[in-house]
């Protein structure tokens, strides 16, 4: 009789963390096509900020709602399963993102039922097919930019995380978590928008690109700082689930 691999709590933990990581990454890619105004969303007057010549409400991609959770799970997986664990789930997430977009394009190409095209006219959507295609049919530049930026960001994140860990050991969990996010998201926040919206068909002016990228990066860093207590809480919960000895063993192997 072969032992059941799912009997190992560490294996079950990795599967659960990987699942949450991937679903957040995939959803963030799909909803990231929307740019929203912060002040209007909160129902307050625009701050009339001026950044790189751009004025008005603070603008974010909707994907910023979920990316902080991706950072959290990246750091937790890094802590207990190391570089190999993060790289593995990152590649799985990339495959799932591409898989999702392929089927989104396949769904768009299906001939819509006549009654369905007009089904949402009462909600202000005159053509459901065009709306569906506009939301789910993100251009190849957007998809390519997202995937490239995601992988570059993840590889930088895992490297910086372990460099800080080599110098601090088990101490200063907050430092390696926020430090790795600060470097990786500086690249990610600018690369994805540059490929998707500057090189891509929308041809954003550089001033708009710099303004939106800077605001999104600032938000991600603020979220990373605010969520530091969650990292410690997850670390304690995982240690309690695995047991002190097993959790310490995983962290030692991950650090090596």
Q: What is the pLDDT of residues 154-184, one digit of tens each?
A: 888 888 887 888 787 777 777 887 888 888 7
Q: Supply the pLDDT for residue 227.
A: 86
The answer to whether 21 and 89 are in contact (CB under 8 A) is yes
The residue with greater pLDDT, 24 or 176, is 24
The rounded distance, in Å, linking the Cα atoms of 174 and 168 is 11
Q: What is the dihedral of CA 156, 97, 73, 209, to 10 degrees?
A: 50
Q: Which two tokens mark 187?
A: 């690249």
Note down the domain range covering 23: 5-255
Given a cut of 90, whether residue 92 has pLDDT beyond it is: yes
Q: What is the mean pLDDT of residues 72-92?
A: 90
Q: What share of the chain is helix, strand, coil (3-state, %, to 5)?
A: 75, 5, 20
Given a cut of 90, whether residue 224 has pLDDT beyond it is: no
93 backbone dihedrals φ, ψ, rounded to 5°: -60, -40
201 backbone dihedrals φ, ψ, rounded to 5°: -65, -20
Given a cut of 60, whether residue 1 has pLDDT beyond it is: no
Q: Supply the pLDDT for residue 200.
A: 65
The answer to whether 33 and 138 are in contact (CB under 8 A) is yes
The rounded distance, in Å, linking the Cα atoms of 106 and 152 is 28
Q: Supply the pLDDT for residue 21.
A: 93
Burial grade of 4 (CB within 10 A; 0-12, 13-18, 19 or more): exposed
Q: Supply the pLDDT for residue 252.
A: 87
Given a cut of 90, whether residue 238 has pLDDT beyond it is: yes
Q: What is the mean pLDDT of residues 31-52?
A: 80
Q: Which residues make beta-bridge pairs with 36?
A: 60
Q: What is the mean pLDDT of residues 223-246?
A: 90
The tens digit of pLDDT for each residue in 122-156 reads 888 899 998 888 888 766 667 777 787 788 888 88
DSSP state of 195: I
Given a cut of 90, whether residue 57 has pLDDT beyond it is: no
161 backbone dihedrals φ, ψ, rounded to 5°: -55, -50
Q: Supply the pLDDT for residue 241.
A: 94
**Residue at token pair 């912060």:** 38
Q: Which two tokens mark 144?
A: 């390519």
Q: What is the mean pLDDT of residues 14-27?
A: 92
What is the percentage of the chain residues whose pLDDT exceeds 70? 96
The answer to whether 61 and 35 are in contact (CB under 8 A) is yes
| Sign, CA torsion 41/58/31/21 | negative
Mean pLDDT for all residues in the chain = 83
163 backbone dihedrals φ, ψ, rounded to 5°: -65, -40
The rounded distance, in Å, linking the Cα atoms of 150 and 220 is 14
Query: SS3 of 59, please?
Result: strand
CA angle 192–160–186, rounded 5-degree value: 30
**Residue at token pair 């570089």:** 83
Q: Supply the pLDDT for residue 202.
A: 67
The total of structural domains in the chain comes to 1
The rounded distance, in Å, linking the Cα atoms of 164 and 75 is 12
pLDDT confidence band for 220 (50 / 70 / 90): confident
């Amino acid at each position: 009789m072969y032992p059941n691999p799912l009997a190992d709590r560490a294996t079950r933990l990795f599967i659960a963390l990987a699942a949450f990581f991937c679903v957040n990454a995939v959803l963030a890619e799909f909803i990231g096509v929307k740019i929203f105004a912060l002040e209007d969303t909160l129902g307050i007057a625009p701050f009339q900020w001026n950044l790189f010549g751009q004025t008005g409400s603070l603008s974010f991609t909707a994907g910023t709602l979920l990316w902080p959770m991706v950072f959290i799970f990246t750091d937790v997986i890094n802590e207990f399963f190391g570089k190999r664990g993060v790289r593995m789930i990152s590649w799985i997430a990339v495959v799932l993102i591409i898989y999702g977009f392929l089927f989104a394009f396949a769904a768009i190409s299906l001939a819509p039922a006549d009654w369905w095209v007009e089904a949402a006219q009462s909600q202000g959507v005159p053509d459901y097919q065009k709306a569906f295609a506009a939301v789910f049919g993100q251009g190849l530049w957007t998809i390519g930019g997202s995937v490239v930026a995601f992988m570059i960001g993840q590889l930088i994140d895992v490297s910086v995380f372990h460099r800080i860990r080599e110098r601090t050991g088990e101490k200063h969990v907050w430092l390696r978590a926020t430090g790795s996010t600060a470097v990786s998201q500086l690249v990610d926040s600018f690369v994805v928008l540059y490929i998707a919206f500057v090189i891509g068909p929308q041809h954003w002016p550089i001033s708009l690109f710099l303004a939106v990228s800077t605001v999104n990066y600032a938000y991600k860093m603020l979220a990373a700082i605010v969520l530091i207590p969650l990292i410690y809480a997850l670390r304690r919960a995982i240690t309690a689930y695995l047991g002190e000895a097993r959790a310490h063993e995983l962290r030692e192997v991950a650090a090596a």
